[in-house]
Structure 1
Amino acid sequence: MGCFILLILMMFHFACLSSHSCHPYENSALLHFKTQLITNTTFYENTYYEHLCPNLYPKMRTWDNGTDCCSWMGVTCHSVSSHVIGLDLSCSALVGNIHPNSTLFYLTHLQTLSLACNYIYGSELPSQFGGFVSLTHLNLSYCAFKGDIPSQISHLSKLQSLDLSWNYALSLKETTWKRLLQNTTSLREVVLDETDMSSIGPTPGPLSLIANLSSTLVTLSLVHTKISGYLTSDIFCLPNLQKLNLGANQGIQVHVPKLNCNTSLLSILDLSECNFHGPIPSSFFNLTYLTSLILVDSFLNGSIPSSLSNLHHLVYLVLSRNNLSGKIPNVFDRLTNLQTLSLHDNNFQGKLPSSLFTLTRLSQLDCSSNQIEGPLSDKVAFSNLTELFLEGNLLNGTIPSSIFSLKSLRTFDLSKNQFIGPISGEITSYSLEYLDLCNNKLQGNFPETIFHLVNLSHLCLSSNKWSGTTHFSLFSKLQNLEYLSLSGCSLLLLESETSVNYTFFNLQALQLFSNNIIGYSKFSGNFPQLKYLELSNNKLEGKVPKWIHDIHSLIHLKLSHNMFTSIGHQFPWYQFEYLDLSFNLMDDDISSFFCNATFLNVINLSHNRFIGTFPQCLANSSSLRNLDLQMNKFHGTLPDTFEDLVTLNLNGNQFKGLLPKSLANCTDLMDLNLGNNQFEDTFPNWLQNLLNFEILVLQGNQLYGSIVKLKSENIFPSLIIFDISSNNFSGSLPKAYIQNFQAMKIQSSLYYYLQSDSGSGEGNIELEYDNSMTTTVKGVSITLTKIPNAFANIDLSSNNFEGEIPDVFGELQALKSINLSHNNLIGPIPHVMGNLTNLESLDLSSNMLTGNIPAELTNLIFLEVLNLSSNHLEGSIPQGKQFDTFSNNSYKGNIGLNVPLQQYSSSQAEDKFGFGWKPVAIGYAFGMVLGIGLGFCGFSVGKPQWLVIIFRVFMHIQL
């Protein structure tokens, strides 16, 4: 008996010894595997790995030769056999490759393996992973593997969890998918996000295979896998399924009219960016165990039914970016567990339901960008609310003081609503980090309790009616502030205390356009981190002050629409990316400026009095994309060394000489405006093959010669503005070019805009360049901003073109305006002109056209301006539709025309050629401002000159 006990004790002793002793060949295999990868923690800094692995730790650094591998971090050994059965190297800062001959595959007893969140770049997933026949858990997510998932993975019959997600370049074939589901009968978790499964056909489909073969499945995540087919109720009825995430698969057609089971354990359902095209399926509200329902960007419409209250376990409800409408149901008193509610970017109307304000556990509420109206409740129970987004609605009334006392609130956005009145009471939400009240109708004295919110990093109070005086230095109390916008508050006096030194240690963006700033030139603040500064439309004058020059961190400076007379000290341009000094009175010679400008991407110096020659440094710049020097006093010839420009506008200067052929090297060039200079050259046919070229304005130069016929089939394919008027071109109209204007044959739904001030106060940094151009529309020279896709225009007027008008004009369906006046054109007006049903202005005056006016022109129902005067037309004038609105002045100077006697009242006559209200009212896509501009057209030719000058200054229109 004693011997037996001794034997038992000896066996236990050796078992204990073995549990702490690693097998030598496994020890060696792990050490060799360590040499195949590099531990590099610096590689992970400032990448998405840093977010994925907040507890990044290089586990392999604990692996030392001569020590027991069972004691190494990330290694688990069997308690009896001592074989390595677990290897967890997730978030270990590993970089390198795993080859098929890697000693990793010597660990044949592995049951769990995780290499997640390491950079195994460029490696195809080795088939040897299929040799771990005892494996139950395999996680290779975020490893940068590529290629096909090997079929050998389906040999892992004991697998319970498989995660190959977010490798970006992995693909899964249908045969491997089928075998995997058939062989791994214990699968509980499948995560294949970002794996390409597009080769799996929609019939029977990857989801049907899951529903038919897997009863053990608990988690299925196939985000952005390009799967397609119908999603039916079968998968919802899998007996153990709790989490289903099929987001970002627009090939999925959702069809779940009812559930085929009495109960479902589903708790997390994410079908974002799938294809619903209808209301939320009513069957979803029978999934009573749901804690998360996420249906973002899913083409949903209709309303949210009151049966939402069935989901009383719901914690997370996100229905954003759909077409849902109607009122939000007042059922939230039954959803007491709700912590996140996101309904933004829909069409919800009516008031916010009162039961919503009773949710004590709610931490995030986002109902922004809807049509919600009415006041906010002054009784709120949001004791845990951290984020509140209600911007972009129709909310009105005063802002309840109770909201400003929420202790946990960190983010608060009520911008773009109709709130009125002052901020009453003290703001005691001291946790606030983000506060946006821009674009409302708030008024009264500036709420100085804001200066107590020391955690603020983002503050936008623009476009309100604050009054009184505020010392700008007080904002320096907010030492965490990174973004500050007070734009469009013209009743608020911003005063600088020159005797006070203050520092904005973290401020990166400051927007003060359209303000009333006192003592701006004597600001004594320090801005060591400021990158974006906008002071447009403030009536600032004199030289650009020294305090702005002293901000060495600036990369974005916008001082447009002021009265500055000089740049002053030269800036350290080398770090600048965006510079806008347009619409000032600056008269510096900038010929030698910008030579240290390494990163300048956008330069707008337009509408000033700058002098000098074109800065050679700008022509040599490899970073410059958008350059606007229009309406200045530059002179001389242009350099011929341009590289990568997207827009170049030199309109209204005194440049001369040849057009720079290097512009043909700017393959992304979209807008070229060289109008109203003194260039003397032939037509730049070397630009014809630029695929993105949309605007070409060469009007008002000394260009000459015929536009030669070219055989290329790809001539200006994207052109929508073609203005070569007021030159000396001759020969026939350029038919070969016109018939290849493909973009002018396609009607666009986009709009174009008039040049406007920059004082909108939207509260956002505007990083994109607002392109502008000047063109003639219906007799008025106007300035347009942005590329005007919906405004196709051809102006060949005031040249020496001869011959007939080619029929190819009739193919340009997108045209809004054609001007061929003041040439030597002969022959009839083509009948195909009647096909241009979007045409609003047609000027063929002062030519030698003959024949009748085609009756087809009556089809032009949008035609507002017609000028056929001073030709040799004959016969009767067509009647009906728009032709009944044109006066006889449209036809004068055509002796052979039978012009009927037209009776106009004095007011009607003014509507046609005076300052009447009809042009103002018409104003098609240009809106009211252009309408006034149209009235100004007639006004400028028929009214007293002194009044024309006053009106011109008021409207800022360049004639």
Structure 2
Amino acid sequence: MGYYSIRVVVCVHMSMLFHLLACLSSQSCHSEESSALLHFKTEVFASTTFHEDGDYYAYFCLHYPKMRTWDNGTDCCSWMGVTCHSVSGHVIGLDLTCSGLAGNIHPNSTLFYLTHLQTLTLAQNDIYGSELPSLFGRFVSLTHLNLAHCGLGGEIPSQISHLSKLQSLDLSSNVDLMWEETTWKRFLQNTTSLREIVLDDTDMSSIPSSLSLIANMSSSLITTLSFHDTGIRGHLSQILCLSNLQKLNLGGDNPDLQIHVPKLNCTPALSMLDLSGYHFQGPIPSSFSNLTYLTSLIWQDGSLKGSIPSSLLNLQHLTHLDLLSNELKGSIPSSLLNLQHLTHLDLSGNKLSGQIPNVFDRLTNLQSLRLSYNHFQRKLPSSLFALTQLSSLDCSNNKIEGPLPDKVAFLNLTTLDLRGNLLNGTIPQWVLSLKSLGYLDLSNNRFRGHISAITSFSLEYLDLCNNELQGNIPESIFHLVNLTHLCLSSPHNWSGTVHFSLFSELQNLEYLSLSGCSSLLLKHETSVDYTFSSLAALQLLSNNIIGWSKFSGRFPSLTYLELFNNELEGKVPKWVHDIDSLTYLNLSHNSLTSMGQFSWYQLEFLDLSFNLMADDISSFFCNATSLEVINLSYNKFTGTFPQCLANKSSLSVLDLQMNKLYGALPDTFKHGQFATLNINGNQFTGLLPKSLSNSIDLVDLNLGNNQFEDTFPHWLQNLSRLEILVLRANKFYGPIANLKSKMIFPSLMIFDISNNNFSGSLPKAYIKNFQAMKILDEEKSSLNYYVQSGQFSYENAGIIPEYDDSITPIIKGKRTPFVKIPEVFAIIDLSENKFEGEIPDVIGELQVLKGLNLSHNSLVGHIPQSLGNLTNLESLDLSSNMLIGDIPNELTNMNFLEVLNLSQNQLVGPIPRGKQFNTFSNDSYEGNMGLCGWPLSVECNNNVPSQQYPPFEADEDKFGFGWKPVAIGYACGMVLGIGLGYCVFSIGKPQWLVIIFGGKRIKRRSRGNRRARTT
């Protein structure tokens, strides 16, 4: 046969072979497997309607409708998520990621009929509460198993070790899933082909040597290990020498993990190491420089201390370095320029300082740089603006100053965040004209001047708030059709008239904040009703608003409305009442006179404070079903306490202070109700309702300046979270019983019961148990505040709604209002009562105290030396008592003491010198005739009496001493008077005579002071 004949025969046979393979490859799936899949669908696909209504999985899972393609009578090999073998037709792959599965996978499920499966993925489904069935061991051909984020629980069955061909296992984010040691050992011994193990957020804490078992496993093919937040045990060095290991994640809550890497006998092949969340509490180990093939090092939130070691920056292959949220200090080493392959650098949330080094000219591949929330100063380096590949730059919340350069080399910048610095000058034109820029935040700086035309039409986020900008708002803003977030609030006036209706042209706008407009016109000249289709949050702050009552715009999506400090007058208009989507409404600091008939709808947060509203609120909120925060303070509201509010268990914050409310409080407060209850400055009367003790979450209770008449509410002592208790200026009376309990206001930081009629000794047992006042929490600072927040979700709009607790204590001799209360602000005010006895030493244990006021009582004895331990004290008032003896030198230890008042007592001896005591004037000591030394004019010498004096009668109302006994004994006193006159004339004015007959003048001053303080 010739060459061409042979060739034809071969071609014919090859054609027949290809045709046969084509027929086989199009073979239908097996009927029993099709039936098994359809039956499995009925088992776990019963919650379709629920998910379509907006469940988590329906929102995030893009392939949700997979099972909808599964119909009886069709080839299962064509169904979405199903893969069949090209020859046998058996189902070998099943991918139902994010498919709306719900319920349990039972042991008799038809899923286990698919015995030819090689890959199985059920990740991101709602099968919470299910245990992992042992029948998964039937899938002996399985190479890939992914059951991540399914809510599985219980012990992992030992049959999982039957999956000997497994190459990839992902059981992550099943927090109730537990490994036992024997199961883990058997699994690692049998799976000789394993390459990838991902077990994040499962429980491996019961395995004593998890990592060493991996190091000793028979397979050396492992490339990926991920054990984030598993409680895994062992030493990092035990697995670093696995020859193929490239990716390793050991972060999270793994307290028994040892990270330090000693000198290795191998060269690790590791390219990615993630230790995020692992709290190392030390410097970055210098031995990490041994990981020479590392391309990605991620160690977020690790409590790393010390500086960034230069040796770490010698890892020549690093492309991704992320040390976010640690405690690193010092400057960025200049050896950063060695990382010439670096594409992502994140050092934000540390304590780095100094100037950012000018080394970026060699980092030409850098795409993302985050240095926010540090202490960097001075100007941004010029080399930073020469990076042509940079797409994201975040240097926000530092102390960077100076102007921005006039020119940059950025070609692909999409994010620029420089907020919270000291940048000044005008905003350069390049900032507003970058074609790819989508996110721009320059807020909270010192930029000044006008805003030039904006041509970055890709902008979605624009925040220029809180600068010194002025002039007109550029019309080009209304052409940024992609904007979703716009903040133009400024303390300086925007000139010209701003037509609010123009913002309706931005149909994608979700958040708008605008302040400082000298003329903000809401009502348009035409009768057109403008619709703000997507607007969810609107803040109009400190504007001169024109036409607010006649505005007719529509806000179909608005949930957050804040019209703070706009000089608004009259009744709240209809357009506000018609926004039935509102959950947050703030109309505070205006001149509004009435809320009108508001339906409240879905409202959760209401702030009408600092207005002129005079509505009767007795039944104001009875149709409100969702309100959690109500602030009506500083108005003229009348009526009784709304009974329906006492019955709402959802109410968390109620502030009614400084109104004209009256009557008794209802005794129907619900369990768990209230974190804040402030009714200060009204006319409430009667007894305190004991049902207040049901409010176990109560943090702030302010009942001051009312007419309550009751004994001390000791039944509140078990409110373990109570931090503020104010009962001042009422008619409380009687002694405060020294209860024997270890749980007496353990969290209390502000205790003000002043200006009442409490009597007996100071409440030593209470003071002894004020645990929160004893130890200064280092995590709290004066920048942290007691804040009660509503449960809202405005973070995406840049808003976190909050309610700020407020009090008005006497601090440093003056009544001081606090809108926000610092967390470390601790005071005790027991003044203007009828307390007697000595000052207890235990007060000296309250080292967090900032203010202590025990004035205008009948306290006796010495000033305790232990008060010198109050080294954080700023104000001490012990005036108008009957204290005796010396002023303890220990009080000079109070380095922060600014106000001291020891007047109107019977103190003697020299006034201590040094430190803060060198700053106090005569007023601090007046009325103590036995004191001497600076600043008094009386010098200390041997003639100054040192003996103790009996208590003088300072107040005839309290002690029954007046001048009638003197008049009765006038005749006898004449002889004595002549004798005394002779003494005075001969030897000068005796101190003891001045003290005795000076009582009348002291008494009058004491009364005058009391009247002034009460007012």
Q: Where on the TM-score scale, by shorter chain, does this alignment land: which range?
A: 0.7 to 0.9
The C-alpha deviation readout for 1:197-255, integer Å capped at 9, x for no partner, is 33445xx66289459876423333333334466545x8666554444444435746654
The C-alpha deviation readout for 1:393-428, integer Å capped at 9, x for no partner, is 23332222123222222221111222222222x212
2:471 aligns with one of 424, 428, 444: 444
Cross-structure match for 2:190: 183
Secondary structure, counterpart of 2:112 in structure 1: helix
Cross-structure match for 1:694: 723
For the residues of structure 1 that align with 2:310 and 2:931, how far apart are their CA atoms? 70
Secondary structure, counterpart of 1:94 in structure 2: coil
User: What are the within-5 Å matches in structure 2 for residues 264-303 of structure 1?
Assistant: 267-274=295-302, 276-280=304-308, 285=313, 288=316, 290-303=318-331
Relative to the length of structure 1, the TM-score reads: 0.85
Contact 2:489 2:541 in 1 (8 A): no
The CA deviation at 1:118 is 2.2
Contact 1:39 1:92 in 2 (8 A): no
The CA deviation at 1:769 is 0.5
Counterpart of 1:419, as a letter, is F
For the residues of structure 2 that align with 1:596 and 1:850, how far apart are their CA atoms? 60
For the residues of structure 2 that align with 1:590 and 1:158, how far apart are their CA atoms? 72
Contact 1:755 1:784 in 2 (8 A): no
Cross-structure match for 2:602: 575
Secondary structure, counterpart of 2:495 in structure 1: strand
Cross-structure match for 1:892: 926
Q: Which has the higher contact order (CA 8 A, sep 6+)?
A: 1
Secondary structure, counterpart of 2:843 in structure 1: helix
Between the aligned residues of both structures, percent identity stands at 66
For the residues of structure 2 that align with 1:240 and 1:409, how far apart are their CA atoms? 41
Distance change in 2, residues 1:885/1:17 (3 Å): closer
Contact 1:498 1:523 in 2 (8 A): no
For the residues of structure 2 that align with 1:798 and 1:537, how far apart are their CA atoms? 37
The CA deviation at 1:623 is 2.3
User: What are the within-5 Å matches in structure 2 for residues 480-629 of structure 1?
Assistant: 480-487=508-515, 489=516, 494=521, 496-501=523-528, 502-564=530-592, 566-629=593-656
Distance change in 2, residues 1:434/1:258 (3 Å): farther
The CA deviation at 1:888 is 3.8
Counterpart of 1:751, as a letter, is S
For the residues of structure 1 that align with 2:783 and 2:152, how far apart are their CA atoms? 46
Distance change in 2, residues 1:849/1:109 (3 Å): same
Distance change in 2, residues 1:454/1:186 (3 Å): same
For the residues of structure 2 that align with 1:777 and 1:253, how far apart are their CA atoms? 51
Contact 1:243 1:268 in 2 (8 A): no
Distance change in 2, residues 1:14/1:609 (3 Å): closer
Which is worse superposed, 814-823 or 658-667?
814-823
Cross-structure match for 1:394: 422
Contact 2:24 2:88 in 1 (8 A): no
Cross-structure match for 2:440: 412
2:482 aligns with one of 436, 440, 455: 455
Structure with higher Rg: it is 2
For the residues of structure 1 that align with 2:540 and 2:394, how far apart are their CA atoms? 28
Which is worse superposed, 490-499 or 706-715?
490-499
Cross-structure match for 1:225: 230
User: What are the within-5 Å matches in structure 2 for residues 38-77 of structure 1?
Assistant: 38-45=45-52, 46-50=54-58, 52-59=60-67, 61-62=69-70, 64=72, 69-77=76-84
The CA deviation at 1:392 is 2.0
For the residues of structure 1 that align with 2:84 and 2:811, how far apart are their CA atoms? 82
User: What are the within-5 Å matches in structure 2 for residues 798-877 of structure 1?
Assistant: 798-877=832-911
Counterpart of 1:886, as a letter, is F
User: What are the within-5 Å matches in structure 2 for residues 155-174 of structure 1?
Assistant: 155-174=162-181
Secondary structure, counterpart of 1:58 in structure 2: helix
Distance change in 2, residues 1:419/1:500 (3 Å): farther
Distance change in 2, residues 1:105/1:434 (3 Å): same
The C-alpha deviation readout for 1:31-85, integer Å capped at 9, x for no partner, is 4434432253444453442454212223375252x66555544343444444433
Distance change in 2, residues 1:344/1:505 (3 Å): same
Length, aligned pairs only: 897
Distance change in 2, residues 1:446/1:231 (3 Å): same
For the residues of structure 1 that align with 2:179 and 2:47, how far apart are their CA atoms? 31
The CA deviation at 1:830 is 2.6
Please tell me whether residue 669 in structure 1 is matched to residue 698 in structure 2.
Answer: yes
Distance change in 2, residues 1:882/1:671 (3 Å): same
Root mean square deviation of aligned Cα:
3.7
Distance change in 2, residues 1:834/1:302 (3 Å): closer
For the residues of structure 2 that align with 1:380 and 1:456, how far apart are their CA atoms? 24
The CA deviation at 1:458 is 0.8
Please tell me whether residue 475 in structure 1 is matched to residue 503 in structure 2.
Answer: yes
Distance change in 2, residues 1:42/1:786 (3 Å): farther
For the residues of structure 2 that align with 1:777 and 1:525, how far apart are their CA atoms? 47
Counterpart of 1:59, as a letter, is M
User: What are the within-5 Å matches in structure 2 for residues 59-458 of structure 1?
Assistant: 59=67, 61-62=69-70, 64=72, 69-201=76-208, 206=211, 209-210=214-215, 215-227=220-232, 231-232=236-237, 238-249=242-253, 251=255, 254-255=259-260, 260-261=266-267, 267-274=295-302, 276-280=304-308, 285=313, 288=316, 290-305=318-333, 308=336, 311-330=339-358, 332=360, 334-424=362-452, 426-458=453-485
For the residues of structure 2 that align with 1:305 and 1:891, how far apart are their CA atoms? 57
Distance change in 2, residues 1:61/1:283 (3 Å): farther
Distance change in 2, residues 1:755/1:92 (3 Å): closer
For the residues of structure 1 that align with 2:215 and 2:172, how far apart are their CA atoms? 18
Contact 2:752 2:830 in 1 (8 A): yes
The C-alpha deviation readout for 1:255-278, integer Å capped at 9, x for no partner, is 468885397655554333346434
Distance change in 2, residues 1:787/1:61 (3 Å): same
Contact 2:658 2:682 in 1 (8 A): yes
The CA deviation at 1:288 is 5.0
For the residues of structure 1 that align with 2:357 and 2:723, how far apart are their CA atoms? 49
Contact 1:246 1:271 in 2 (8 A): no
Cross-structure match for 1:638: 665
Relative to the length of structure 2, the TM-score reads: 0.80
The C-alpha deviation readout for 1:810-838, integer Å capped at 9, x for no partner, is 22222222222222223333332232222
Distance change in 2, residues 1:221/1:371 (3 Å): farther
For the residues of structure 2 that align with 1:32 and 1:496, how far apart are their CA atoms? 62
Cross-structure match for 2:40: 33
For the residues of structure 1 that align with 2:47 and 2:177, how far apart are their CA atoms? 24
Secondary structure, counterpart of 2:579 in structure 1: coil
Gaps of 5+ in 1: 757-761, 905-940, 946-951
The CA deviation at 1:453 is 1.0
Secondary structure, counterpart of 2:837 in structure 1: strand
Distance change in 2, residues 1:337/1:216 (3 Å): farther
The CA deviation at 1:864 is 2.9
Distance change in 2, residues 1:261/1:371 (3 Å): farther
Cross-structure match for 2:986: none
Secondary structure, counterpart of 1:751 in structure 2: coil
Cross-structure match for 1:931: none
The CA deviation at 1:630 is 1.5
Distance change in 2, residues 1:281/1:897 (3 Å): closer
Cross-structure match for 1:918: none
Which is worse superposed, 813-822 or 538-547?
538-547
Which is worse superposed, 237-246 or 659-668?
237-246
